[in-house]
């Protein structure tokens, strides 16, 4: 069980770093990178539980799904950021506040 | 002849619709359309008169249709000897009124549209035999009248209009309560003919808050009608409204509107609650006396000619009240004096008609002089008899008719009212003969101040009455003169119905112990 | 013979009305303004009524009476029959009316020449004649009352003919209103009778009274009520005030009014309805008449206006007639009515002729200040106006009651009746005193009039050359009427100048009153017959006394009128000022009445309407304002909007957390989770 704890511990640290990045960064790319960290923290958890929880390959399947999802998300998000950059000449997410009244 | 009554009622509404589609600038056409529709209405009412069977005292030309079956409300029209003369009077005065209003310049379209609506309301009240319908027409009269006074009237028109409206609405509300009371105590029907049969029995032993229901309903309805008559102390809307209203509307007010009250009392109070006639006749005669004396005294003091004429209306309607009260003379308690009852009641109904024609003439005459001199102050004229001899002559005729000179119709009805009421109310009638003197005093005095003496220099170029004005006055003058000499055609027309009313009241009285 | 009378009467009745209608509508466009229409109509009625008169004389039947009628109004039980009644009284009266009316019409041709309302004037004369004939021919109370009022109307129109003058307009109004006061009494009388008897026909009424359907105090009151009407028309005290003022009308109208139409109507009506007066009512009538006779005579003594003297003399003479009716000798009243009509009309035409001449003369001198009617400006006209003088003298002798003239006969009959009445009921001794006193005064003031006008020196000598006798149209009627004042026309076929026996007394015989308990006609006639000799000597004595005084004062000037006047002091003043009746009526009757009407109107409009009726509106308005305030400030603004405001404020404050930044929200989420974890942990 100690091994599981250390995996979870690393995943928690990764998750916290990701959240921290998302919350504090103003740069769109950086925020995106934070999101990647959060996703990968989740992946570590999936794999860890799959290995130590006796759940066969369910965890691996989800891990692969998350990687694919992350790739798609990164593509869409980068496209949005490029569009923001084209329109506003910045990738600071605080500036993209036109919808705010 | 099938639906002649409906035609009479709805013709002016058709006219109103036609007028609303005519462009506002076509004033001449609007006037002609109004004249056409009221003229056709007059023809229809004459046709009705020709086909009316005067030997039959009950309702004729009845029309009946379902309207709101869930409340037992129907569309019932009918005419008898009581309403027929009123219908003729209304259509005549409405026709004449169009020509009296020929000189209206302000918002002609609206004026005539409202005028025709008023016409429908008036005719409808006289013809409706369903209480609900009656009430609706009653209110329909009110609305155009409010606007006609309030928009086309004199300087104080808005005050006058609102006063008239509130006063009469107050009466209408009491009346509505009375109507609803009748509806619920007498078998949930609004059919007046049916109510005439059921109401006396249904109301007989009914008590409301310890009071006899019949008296409560009588008083509620009576106040509603009394305001229209107007009976003292509900009379003060009249001088104001008459004075402020445009001439044609004063004519309709005095000529027809006041008759709604008397008609209502005779049709509804007398018809539905004959028991209470006995209870109330004394008060009615007394109110008549007060009307005669009070109206006469007030008229004597007026300096505004139109106000004088307005107060003279109060005075004249007093005679009608006296005549109505005379019905109870026919009862066995009073010696069964059928002659007096007939004279009084017919006199009252005749007085309604005569006052209609005479006061219409008087108001038209006031309008004529007002159009020329732009004031109505009696003291402000003088010596006009030489300046306007024809006008003076017609005014003399109207004034003498108003003061009850024999040979003119006013005398006959007044004398019938008094002679009818005399056997029962001796003291009251003797006191009210002072009114005969008062009538003469205020009319003659006014006549002298306007027409006699040296000509007032200001008016040395006052034009004589013109053809249009003459056209409106002559029919009325001829009627006044004709009925003054030979009243029989009128009396023959109403006689059978009068007998029905008397019979209704007296028949009940012989079994009632009120 | 039968229907001729009725047909003639109808023609006589309606011809003047036709003239009236024609003249009113077309008068000004006709040649000569249509005076010939009126004159020919009235002359035609004169011919017809003369024919009827002749027929009556030929028939010589005292009981002659015919009726014809139609149903005017029929309501089943309530019925009014209109009709005409022709008997000897009617025929004589019709002739009198037609005669006087014709004279007035002809007299006016010159007198009214050039008047601005010439055709109107003739139209009104026609109406006047029509209404009077309506009264004469009526066979029922209603048509009589209607004609009665129409007489009032025509008198109003004619008295106010020169309405540019305020005094004329006032006089017309006064006549109408004073008459209306009487008419109210008449109307109440009619109602009392009708409510007991149920018919308006004279014959039914008399039958009803005889059958006792109406008795006692009711009948007396009915009689007095009806008599009140007569008091108004015949200008009896205290309703006499209108007649002297009525002199404002043209003189021919005064003649017509005083002789045949208006004032005669009252007497005629009491004669017509005599049978229904109870003894009590008759007593009232007698006293009113007697008092009026002496009262008016005492005023006439001091008047200076020639027409005023004649006016008061008419009032006094009417008092005689009423007195006669009251004492039961009503045929004598009728007799006096007829004779008086002739000489009084003549006197008025005479005065008209004098005034016309004076007016003309003053006009020549361009003097519009001097009153042409004032006798103090006249005198010595006898030589200038002989026809006027002689005819007026004849009439004066007649009115004074000098034998050989008609007035003597009729006045004598009245005085005899009065004396007989007092002889049998001595407590009423005042009645003959009134009668004889008035007779003396009449003789005095009439001769005063003659002397002041025609004898002595003219008081304005500069005028005398311009005064001429009037034209034929005016003197013709004078001569005709003066000759009709001679006794012989009334006593034929007898020629006894001191006895009234003749066709008149044969044809007009008194009837017994139908009221149970009245004296019979025979008794009355019998008593009067016994009193006749005494009455005649007494009356001649007082007449001689009156004339002698007049001669001494005004002709021989033995006594000065002025010193006598000052000796009499306030009596003279009272008489000159007509006992201040107009002033007192004005002060105690008209003004209070007008004030009352003003008060009532003020009460009605300024108090009742303004405070009571509008007060309702105020109360309701105040109430609605209060509820409105509560509704708006309390419920709407306070409660409903309050909730809204709270919600709004909350939202407003909460809104600040919504930054729109995802990162903030994420922070909140993390913070939330941390909080949840901490909460979970403890």
pLDDT tens digit string along B451-495?
A: 888 887 888 888 888 888 888 999 999 999 999 988 988 988 888
Contact B351, B316 (CB under 8 A): yes
Chain B CB contacts of C77 below 8 Å: 338-339, 342
Q: Minimal Cα–Cα distance from A22 to chain C, Å?
A: 7
Contact C424, C328 (CB under 8 A): no
Chain A CB contacts of C667 below 8 Å: 23
Q: Poorest-confidence range of A59-73, C22-36, C370-384?
A: C370-384
Q: Burial code of B279-312, b = ≥16 C-beta within 10 A, e = fewer?
A: bbbeebbbbbbbbbbbbbbbbbbbebbbbbbbbb
How many domains, in total, are found in chain C?
A: 4
Q: Which of C382, C319, C318, C377 is nearest to C350 (CA)?
A: C382
| Domain stops at, among C541, C559, C577 | C559
Question: Looking at residue C598, what is its pLDDT?
Answer: 82
Q: Which of C436, C410, C416, C431 is nearest to C525 (CA)?
A: C416
DSSP string, B124-149: HHHHB-BHHHHHHHHHHHHHHHHHHH
CB contact under 8 A, B233 and C608: yes
Q: Which residue has the tokens 């007009």?
A: C508
CB contact under 8 A, B302 and C195: no
Residues 6+ apart with CB under 8 A from B270: B277, B324, B327, B501, B504, B505
Question: Looking at residue B513, what is its pLDDT?
Answer: 44
CATH for the stretch A2-92: 1.10.287.3510
- Nearest-angstrom CA–CA distance, C391 and C105: 19
Chain A CB contacts of C670 below 8 Å: 19, 23
SS3 per residue for C509-551: CCCCCCCCCCCCHHHHHHHHHHHHHHHHHHHHHHHHHHHHHHH
Q: Minimal Cα–Cα distance from A44 to chain C, Å?
A: 21
CB contact under 8 A, A22 and C670: no
User: Could you tell me if C62 and C166 lie in one domain?
Assistant: no
Beta-carbon pairs below 8 A across chains B and C: 141
Q: What is the ipTM of this complex?
A: 0.89
Question: Looking at residue B46, what is its pLDDT?
Answer: 92
Task: Classify residue B331 as exposed, middle or buried by CB count within 10 Å of its CB (0-12, 13-18, 19+).
Answer: buried
| CB atoms closer than 10 angstroms to residue C288 | 24
Structural domain boundaries in chain A? 2-92
Rank C16-25, C581-590, C602-611 by mean pLDDT and report only the highest: C16-25
Q: Which of C287, C398, C290 is nearest to C336 (CA)?
A: C398
The answer on pLDDT for B291 being more than 60 is yes
Residue of C656, C658, C659, C661 to mutate, testing the A interface (most A Cβ within 10 Å of its Cβ): C661
Q: Minimal Cα–Cα distance from B328 to chain C, Å?
A: 14
Q: What is the pTM of this model?
A: 0.84
| CB atoms closer than 10 angstroms to residue C439 | 30
Question: Looking at residue C1, what is its pLDDT?
Answer: 43
Strand, coil or helix: C67 = strand
Residues 6+ apart with CB under 8 A from C468: C357, C360, C384, C385
CB contact under 8 A, A97 and C666: no
pLDDT, tens digit (0-9, with 9 covering 90-100), for C447-488: 888 888 888 777 777 777 777 777 777 788 888 888 888 877
The whole domain housing B312 covers 276-514
Residue B514's pLDDT band (cuts 50, 70, 90): very low
CB contact under 8 A, B236 and C609: yes
Mean pLDDT within C216-231:
89
Residue B212 tokens read as: 């006899």
Beta-carbon pairs below 8 A across chains A and C: 19
- Nearest-angstrom CA–CA distance, B374 and B361: 19
What separation, in Å, do the N-terminal and C-terminal C-alpha atoms of chain C show? 144
User: What residues of chain B, 428 to 447, have a C-beta less than 8 Å from chain C?
Assistant: 429-430, 433-434, 436-437, 440-441, 444-445
Does any domain span residue C149? no
Does any domain span residue C571? no
Does any domain span residue C417? yes
Query: Chain C residue with minimal CA distance to A93?
Result: C661
Touching chains A and B? (3+ Cβ pairs < 8 A) = no
Q: Which of A76, A14, A90 is nearest to A47 (CA)?
A: A14
The whole domain housing C668 covers 654-680
DSSP string, C144-180: HHHHHHHHHHHHHHHHGGGTTSHHHHHHHHHHHHHHH
CB contact under 8 A, C666 and A24: no
CB contact under 8 A, A100 and C660: yes
B406 reaches C (C-beta below 8 A)? yes
Q: Name chain A's partners: 3 or more CB pairs within 8 A.
A: C
- Nearest-angstrom CA–CA distance, B85 and B93: 12
Contact B418, B433 (CB under 8 A): yes
pLDDT, tens digit (0-9, with 9 covering 90-100), for C269-312: 998 888 888 888 888 999 999 999 888 888 888 888 888 888 88
DSSP string, C405-441: BHHHHHHHHHHHHHHHHHHHSGGGTHHHHHHHHHHHH
Q: Minimal Cα–Cα distance from C519 to chain B, Å?
A: 31
The answer on pLDDT for C603 being more than 50 is yes
Does any domain span residue B162? no
Q: Minimal Cα–Cα distance from C632 to chain B, Å?
A: 24
Q: Identify which of A23, A93, A99 has the shortest CB distance to residue C667.
A: A23
User: Could you tell me if C629 and C534 lie in one domain?
Assistant: no
Helix then strand count (H, E) for chain C reads 28, 2
- Nearest-angstrom CA–CA distance, C125 and C134: 14
How many domains, in total, are found in chain B?
A: 1
What's B462's DSSP letter?
P
The answer on pLDDT for C566 being more than 80 is no
Does any domain span residue C504? yes
Q: Poorest-confidence range of B130-134, B169-173, C58-62, C85-89?
A: C58-62
- The residue ranking higher by pLDDT, C427 or B91, is B91
Task: Name the phi and psi angles at B119, rounded to 5.
Answer: -55, -50
- Nearest-angstrom CA–CA distance, C184 and C143: 15
Q: Minimal Cα–Cα distance from C12 to chain B, Å?
A: 18
Query: Chain B residue with minimal CA distance to C593?
Result: B297
Chain C CB contacts of B433 below 8 Å: 184, 187-188
pLDDT, tens digit (0-9, with 9 covering 90-100), for C58-98: 888 888 888 888 888 888 888 888 888 888 889 889 998 99
Does any domain span residue C449? yes
Q: Name chain B's partners: 3 or more CB pairs within 8 A.
A: C
Q: Poorest-confidence range of B283-287, B369-373, B413-417, C529-533?
A: C529-533
- Nearest-angstrom CA–CA distance, C554 and C444: 10
User: What residues of chain B, 44 to 103, have a C-beta less than 8 Å from chain C?
Assistant: none
Q: Minimal Cα–Cα distance from B140 to chain C, Å?
A: 23
Chain C CB contacts of A22 below 8 Å: 663, 666
Residue of A20, A23, A38 to mutate, testing the C interface (most C Cβ within 10 Å of its Cβ): A23
Sign of the CA dihedral running C251, C254, C260, C262 = positive
Query: Chain B residue with minimal CA distance to C595?
Result: B301
Mean pLDDT within C131-155:
90
CB contact under 8 A, C604 and B236: yes
Cβ-based interface (< 8 Å): residues of C facing A = 659-663, 666-667, 670
What separation, in Å, do the N-terminal and C-terminal C-alpha atoms of chain A show? 52
Chain C CB contacts of A81 below 8 Å: none
Residue B411 tokens read as: 């005398």
Torsion of CA C28, C34, C37, C43, to 10 degrees: 130
Q: Poorest-confidence range of B78-87, B223-232, C36-45, C566-575?
A: C566-575
Query: Chain C residue with minimal CA distance to A16?
Result: C670
Chain C CB contacts of B338 below 8 Å: 76-78
CB contact under 8 A, C660 and A97: yes
- The residue ranking higher by pLDDT, B75 or C214, is B75
User: Could you tell me if C95 and C180 lie in one domain?
Assistant: no
CB contact under 8 A, C169 and B448: yes
Contact B435, B291 (CB under 8 A): no
CB contact under 8 A, C77 and B239: no
User: Could you tell me if C518 and C607 lie in one domain?
Assistant: no
Question: Looking at residue B70, what is its pLDDT?
Answer: 84
User: Could you tell me if C201 and C350 lie in one domain?
Assistant: yes
Q: Which residue has the tokens 């003061």?
A: B403
User: Could you tell me if C552 and C589 lie in one domain?
Assistant: no
Contact B300, B225 (CB under 8 A): no
Question: Looking at residue C2, what is its pLDDT?
Answer: 56
Strand, coil or helix: C452 = helix
Query: Chain C residue with minimal CA distance to A96?
Result: C661
CB contact under 8 A, A97 and C670: no
Question: Angle formed by the axes of helices C118-137 and C262-272, to 10°?
Answer: 10
């Amino acid at each position: 069980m100690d091994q599981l704890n250390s995996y979870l511990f690393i995943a928690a640290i990764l998750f916290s770093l990701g959240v921290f990045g998302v919350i504090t960064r103003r740069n769109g790319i950086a925020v995106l990178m934070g999101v990647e960290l959060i996703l990968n923290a989740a992946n570590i958890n999936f794999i860890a539980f799959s290995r130590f929880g006796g759940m066969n390959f369910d965890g691996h399947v989800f891990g692969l799904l998350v990687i694919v999802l992350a790739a798609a998300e990164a593509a869409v998000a980068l496209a949005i950021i490029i569009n923001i950059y084209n329109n506003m000449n910045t990738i600071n997410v605080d500036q993209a506040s036109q919808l705010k009244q | 002849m099938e639906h002649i009554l409906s035609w009479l009622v709805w013709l002016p509404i058709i006219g109103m619709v036609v007028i609303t589609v005519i462009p506002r600038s076509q004033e001449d056409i609007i006037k002609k359309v109004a004249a056409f529709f009221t003229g056709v209405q007059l023809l229809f009412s004459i046709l009705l008169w020709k086909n009316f069977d005067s030997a039959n005292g009950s309702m004729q030309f009845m029309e009946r249709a379902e309207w709101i079956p869930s409340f037992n409300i129907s569309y019932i029209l009918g005419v008898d000897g009581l309403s027929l003369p009123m219908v003729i009077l209304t259509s005549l005065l409405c026709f004449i009124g169009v020509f009296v209003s020929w000189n209206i310049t302000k918002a002609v379209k609206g004026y005539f549209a409202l005028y025709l609506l008023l016409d429908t309301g008036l005719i409808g009240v006289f013809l409706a035999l369903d209480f609900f319908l009656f009430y609706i027409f009653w209110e329909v009269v009110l609305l155009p009248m409010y606007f006609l006074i309030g928009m086309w009237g004199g300087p104080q028109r808005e005050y006058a209009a609102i006063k008239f409206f509130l006063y009469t609405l107050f009466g209408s509300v009491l009346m509505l309560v009375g109507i609803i009371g009748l509806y619920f105590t007498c078998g949930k029907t609004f059919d007046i003919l049916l109510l005439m049969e059921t109401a006396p029995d249904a109301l007989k032993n009914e008590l409301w808050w310890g009071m006899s229901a019949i008296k409560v309903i009588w008083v509620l309805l009576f106040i509603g009608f009394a305001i229209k008559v107007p009976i003292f102390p509900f009379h003060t809307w009249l001088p104001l409204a008459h004075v402020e209203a445009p001439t044609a509307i004063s004519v309709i007010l005095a000529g027809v509107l006041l008759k709604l009250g008397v008609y209502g009392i005779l049709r509804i109070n007398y018809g539905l609650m004959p028991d209470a006639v006995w209870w109330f006749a004394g008060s009615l005669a007394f109110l008549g006396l007060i009307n005669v004396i009070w109206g006469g005294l007030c008229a004597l003091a007026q300096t505004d000619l139109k106000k004088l004429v307005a107060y003279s209306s109060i005075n004249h309607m007093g005679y009608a009240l006296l005549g109505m009260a005379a019905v109870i003379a026919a009862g066995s308690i009073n010696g069964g004096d059928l002659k007096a009852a007939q004279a009084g009641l017919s006199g009252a109904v005749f007085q309604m008609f005569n006052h209609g024609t005479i006061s219409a003439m008087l108001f038209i005459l006031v309008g004529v002089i007002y159009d020329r001199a732009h004031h109505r102050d009696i003291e402000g004229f003088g010596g006009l008899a030489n300046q306007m001899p024809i006008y003076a002559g017609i005014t003399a005729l109207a004034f003498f008719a108003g003061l009850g000179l024999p040979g003119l119709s006013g005398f006959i009805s007044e004398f019938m009212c008094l002679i009818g009421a005399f056997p029962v109310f001796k003291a009251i009638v003797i006191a009210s003969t002072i009114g005969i003197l008062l009538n003469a005093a205020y009319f003659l005095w006014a006549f002298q101040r306007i027409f006699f003496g040296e000509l007032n220099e200001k008016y040395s170029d006052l034009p004589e009455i013109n053809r249009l004005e003459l056209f409106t006055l002559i029919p009325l003058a001829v009627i006044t003169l004709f009925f003054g000499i030979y009243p029989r055609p009128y009396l023959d027309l109403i006689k059978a119905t009068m007998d029905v009313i008397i019979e209704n009241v007296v028949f009940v009285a012989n079994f009632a112990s009120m | 013979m039968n229907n001729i009378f009725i047909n003639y009467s109808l023609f006589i009745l309606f011809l003047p009305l036709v003239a009236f209608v024609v003249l009113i509508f077309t008068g000004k466009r006709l040649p000569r303004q249509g005076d010939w229409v009126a004159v020919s109509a009235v002359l035609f009625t004169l011919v017809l009524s003369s024919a009827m008169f002749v027929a009556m004389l030929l028939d010589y039947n005292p009981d002659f009476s015919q009726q014809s009628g139609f149903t005017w109004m029929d309501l089943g039980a309530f019925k009014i029959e209109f009709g005409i009644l022709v008997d000897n009284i009617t025929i004589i009266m019709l002739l009198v009316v037609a005669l006087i009316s014709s004279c007035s019409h002809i007299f006016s041709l010159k007198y009214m020449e050039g008047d601005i309302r010439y055709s109107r004037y003739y139209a009104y004369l026609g109406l006047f004649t029509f209404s009077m004939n309506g009264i004469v021919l009526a066979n029922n109370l209603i048509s009589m009352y209607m004609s009665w009022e129409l007489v009032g109307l025509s008198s109003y129109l004619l008295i106010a003919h020169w309405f540019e003058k305020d005094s004329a307009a006032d006089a017309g109004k006064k006549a109408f209103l004073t008459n209306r006061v009487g008419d109210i009494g008449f109307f109440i009388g009619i109602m009392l009778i009708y409510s007991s008897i149920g018919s308006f026909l004279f014959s039914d009424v008399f039958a009803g009274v005889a059958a006792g359907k109406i008795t006692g105090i009711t009948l007396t009151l009915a009689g007095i009520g009806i008599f009140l009407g007569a008091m108004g028309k015949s200008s009896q005290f205290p309703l006499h005030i209108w007649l002297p003022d009525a002199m404002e009308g043209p003189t021919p109208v005064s003649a017509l009014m005083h002789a045949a139409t208006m004032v005669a109507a009252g007497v005629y009506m009491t004669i017509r309805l005599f049978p229904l007066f109870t003894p009590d009512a008759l007593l009232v009538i007698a006293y009113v008449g007697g008092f009026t006779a002496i009262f008016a005579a005492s005023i006439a003594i001091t008047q200076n206006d020639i027409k005023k003297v004649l006016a008061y003399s008419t009032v006094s003479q009417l008092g005689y007639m009423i007195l006669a009716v009251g004492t039961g000798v009503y045929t004598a009243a009728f007799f006096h009515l007829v004779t008086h009509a002739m000489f009084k009309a003549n006197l008025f035409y005479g005065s008209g002729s004098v005034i016309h001449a004076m007016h003309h003369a003053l006009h020549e001198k361009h003097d519009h200040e001097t009153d042409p009617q004032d006798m103090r400006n006249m005198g010595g006209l006898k030589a200038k106006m002989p026809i006027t003088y002689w005819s007026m003298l004849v009439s004066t002798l007649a009115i004074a009651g000098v034998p050989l003239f008609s007035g003597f006969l009729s006045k004598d009959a009245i005085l005899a009746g009065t004396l007989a009445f007092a002889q049998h009921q001595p407590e009423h001794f005042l009645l003959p005193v009134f009668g004889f006193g008035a007779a003396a005064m009449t003789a005095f003031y009439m001769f005063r009039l003659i002397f002041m006008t025609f004898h002595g020196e003219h008081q304005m000598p500069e005028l005398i050359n311009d005064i001429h006798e009037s034209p034929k149209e005016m003197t013709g009627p004078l001569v005709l009427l003066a000759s009709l004042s001679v006794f012989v026309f009334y006593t034929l076929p007898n020629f006894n100048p001191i006895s009234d026996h003749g066709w008149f007394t044969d044809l007009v015989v008194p009837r017994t009153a139908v009221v149970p308990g009245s004296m019979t006609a025979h008794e009355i006639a019998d008593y009067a017959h016994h009193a006749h000799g005494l009455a005649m000597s007494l009356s001649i004595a007082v007449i001689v006394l009156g004339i002698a005084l007049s001669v001494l004062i005004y002709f021989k000037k033995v006594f000065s009128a002025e010193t006598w006047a000052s000796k009499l002091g306030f009596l003279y003043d009272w008489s000159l000022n007509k006992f201040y009746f107009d002033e007192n009526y004005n002060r105690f009757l008209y003004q209070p009445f007008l004030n009352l009407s003003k008060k009532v109107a003020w009460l009605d409009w300024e108090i009742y309407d303004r405070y009571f009726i509008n007060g309702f509106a105020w109360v309701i308005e105040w109430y609605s304002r209060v509820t409105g305030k509560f509704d708006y400030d309390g419920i709407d603004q306070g409660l409903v909007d309050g909730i809204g405001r709270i919600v709004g404020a909350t939202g407003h404050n909460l809104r600040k957390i919504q930054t729109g930044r995802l990162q903030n929200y994420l922070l909140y989420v993390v913070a939330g989770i941390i909080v949840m974890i901490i909460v979970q942990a403890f």
